[in-house]
Amino acid sequence: MRKIKNAPFWIGILIGIIIISGIVIFPIIIELNKPKPVYYIATDDTYYSGADFYETVNGNRSFLVAGRYINVSGSSFYYAFIKFDLKNIPKRWVKCEFSFYIYEYERNYWNANIVILSNEWNEEMNSFDIDSNLPTHSASDFSWEHNLGLQKINITDYIGDNESITIRIGAHGTYRSGGSLVFINNYMMIYSKEANTTIDKLPQLIWS
């Protein structure tokens, strides 16, 4: 039987090809097969507070307000509501992030909260109709210390089988000083889906 000349050399070449394939080629194949990000702009968004007397329709504004804010009616707590349709979500996805853009705020040492709700409403309703439609318990409550600019929060675990999902954004506006409760302005301004800005700054879900 004839021996192959330089057999160790060719075996080394083969092993090298296998190693290079594992390091370079296979990760590329995996990356190419990952689902591409899909962006879903909010279907409805609005904001309200007690200062609006629950009758104001704010669904056509270019901004959303969350937190304690002073306006012509006085200082009041505001809540922003952002709804997404989940009936036609991508077939292939691993992660879902809620993305929104804060372009103005007052205070920077507080935590805001994001509460995920499942309920039906639209931005043409007045505030009272929206408020009376909300469930008494939320699916989840997030807390984060915000900054100006684009914000992304992973809500993958809260999508479930819902046909829509509403994210309510609020903010703390009080602190205790010497045993007394002190009210402070503590708000953020967010671009709504009607804002005249770049598409990445509109409230949306990012599926990837």
End-to-end CA distance of the chain: 57
Phi, psi of 70 (to 5 degrees): -95, 130
Q: Summarize the chain as % helix, strand, coil (round to 5).
A: 20, 40, 40
- What is the DSSP code (8-state) at residue 22? I
**Mean residue pLDDT across the chain:** 79
| For the chain, percent of residues with pLDDT exceeding 70 | 68
Helix (H) or strand (E) holding 143: strand 140-145
pTM for the whole structure: 0.76
Residue count of the chain: 208
Confidence of residue 97 (pLDDT cuts 50, 70, 90): very high
Phi, psi of 155 (to 5 degrees): -120, 25
Dist CA 90 CA 108 (whole Å): 36
Residue with tokens 């409760």: 181
Dist CA 148 CA 7 (whole Å): 63
From 74-83, 85-94, 155-164, the region with the lowest mean pLDDT: 74-83
pLDDT at 31: 47
Dist CA 20 CA 7 (whole Å): 20
Average pLDDT over residues 35-41: 78
Dist CA 55 CA 127 (whole Å): 5
What burial letters (b/e) apply to 59-72, b meaning 16+ CB within 10 Å?
Answer: beeebbbbbbbeee
